[in-house]
Each structure stands twice: as C-alpha cells, then as structure tokens.
Amino acid sequence: MAAATGIPLDAVAFYAELEANNTKDWWAANKERYEQSVREPFSALTDALAEEFGEARIFRPYRDVRFSADKTPYKTEQGAIASASGGAGYYLRVGSDGLVTGGGYMHGMPDQVARYRAALDADTSGKALVAIVDGLRRKGFQIGGEMLATRPKGVAADHPRLELLRHKSLIAWRDRGTPTWMSTGSVVRYVSDDWRAIRPMVDWIGEQVGESTMPMPERGRR
C-alpha cells in the first residue's frame, strides 16, 4: 500500500483537458497520465482514510452511455464513496474545479424517504438534524440533494422543518478547490477533518433512516 502523497495539480489539469478532448484517442494518449496523476494518488488517499472510514469504492472512469444522449465516453471527474452503516457514506472527488469532500445519502429509496421524513417530523430527532445541518453550514459546507419542488403531501405549509422535509436525499459537501495541501500528504488530514465534521449527519441518517429494505426490482423505481 503506497503512502498518500497528495493529489497532483496535474489531476486538475488532466480533467480540464479531458473536458475539451473527451475522445478515445485523447484518452489512449493520456491513459498513463491518468494512472499516475489521478488513479494511483486517489487510491493511496482512500487507502489512508480506510482505517477510520472504511474502504472506499473508486468509480470507474468510463461513462455508461447506453441510455444517454451524451455519448462522450469518459467521466470528467474521479470520485469515490466510503459507505457507512445505515445507507449513508462519505464522498470524495477531483475534477477540473479541484477537490470536493462530502457525505450523506445520495439516492433515497421510497422507504428511506418515508423514514427520513418521519424522523424529521418528530420533534426530538427533527431538531437534532436541523442543529447538525446548521452546524455544517457554519463550517462552510453546502447542503443539497434531490428535492421536491413543493412540500410533501400532508405536510403543513408552516412546518418549522419544511425545507429539509422536501429532501429525497441529503448531502453536505465542501468545494476545496486547489489548496497547496492538496498535492501533499496533508490532504489526508484535511479530508479526514471534513468527513469527521459530516459524521454526525451520516450517523443520524444511519440511526433514523437506515438501509432500504425494498425488494431489488423496486429499487429501480423512484
């Protein structure tokens, strides 16, 4: 296992160039560069985080274009997710805009959304999540996820937690850009600090929402 030495700035340049040259020929000419500047340092970073946060799944660089109007073959960012118990997890990516850290649950199934809203509607657990989200915002995190355009059915227009009740998934993330520490071993400490800040939200989701219990065929329906 290689020690984490940071994500080279060339990883950012690689994706900026890929965005303008998303072709198989360009990729073939730059594949070794991808391995050296992106894949290998990204793998070393996730390995260094694994003891505390668990093993991360590093995404493949190839896009699934079978059902997409966009036929460009390669993803323009490298991402990874370290799953936590209960359906949430921690997220990391690098692209042309630099490094992003985050966490939460990305794709809520109907049974998860129902449990999430029930816990948010309950006074004690609902206020606890609001305090967690407010704390993350004060630390510079953005809060997002898939949301309804209007309020959920049966929820009062003046519900004190209406904004969060509109969510079907819930994530917190921080755009880190390209700080000097990104290309050094210190990147492990900074990413760990961000993931620890997100951990209360991940834990809340694990305790209150949990994994989906829907049969697998149902999971393709939203």
pLDDT tens over the chain, length 222 residues: 456 889 999 999 999 999 999 999 999 999 999 999 999 999 999 999 999 999 999 999 999 888 888 899 999 999 999 999 888 999 999 999 999 999 999 888 899 999 999 999 999 999 999 999 999 999 999 999 999 999 999 999 999 999 999 999 999 999 999 999 999 999 999 999 999 999 999 999 999 999 888 885 544 443
pLDDT of residue 119: 97
- Cβ-proximal residues to 87 (8 Å cutoff; 6+ apart), any chain: 105, 112, 205, 206, 209, 210, 211, 212
pLDDT of residue 3: 66
pLDDT of residue 2: 54
Q: Which fold has domain 9-60+72-211?
A: BirA Bifunctional Protein; domain 2 (3.30.930)
Identify the helix (H) or strand (E) that includes residue 133: helix 123-138
Query: Across 15-167, where does the E strand assignment appear?
Result: 56-58, 77-83, 89-95, 98-105, 142-144
* Residue that the structure tokens 């994994």 belong to: 211
